[in-house]
Amino acid sequence: MQHDQEIAAAYYDDEITYEQLKSLVGAQEAANLRVLKQQLDDGFVDDIAEI
């Protein structure tokens, strides 16, 4: 589990590409993480806009 969290963190920090992510965790999990990353990125933009 810890390993998967490290992989996700690397993807969120743009240290690995989506294709690398997909090869490490599988297509379905990669798709889930990509959606979450997009939501987090959108939320970050919204938070900054409110400051």
Domain residue extents for the chain: 2-50
| pLDDT, tens digit, 9 for 90 and up, residues 40-51 | 888 766 666 665
Convert the pLDDT of each residue in 16-37 to its tens digit. 999 999 999 999 999 999 999 9
- Whether this prediction's pTM lies above 0.85 is answered by no
How far apart, in Å, do the first and last CA atoms of the chain sit? 35
CA-based angle 46:21:43, to the nearest 5?
5
Q: Measured between alpha carbons, how far is 2 from 41 in angstroms, rounded to an integer?
A: 23
Could you give the C-alpha distances from 18 to 21, 30, 47, in angstroms and in order?
5, 7, 25
Tokens coding 28: 């379905």
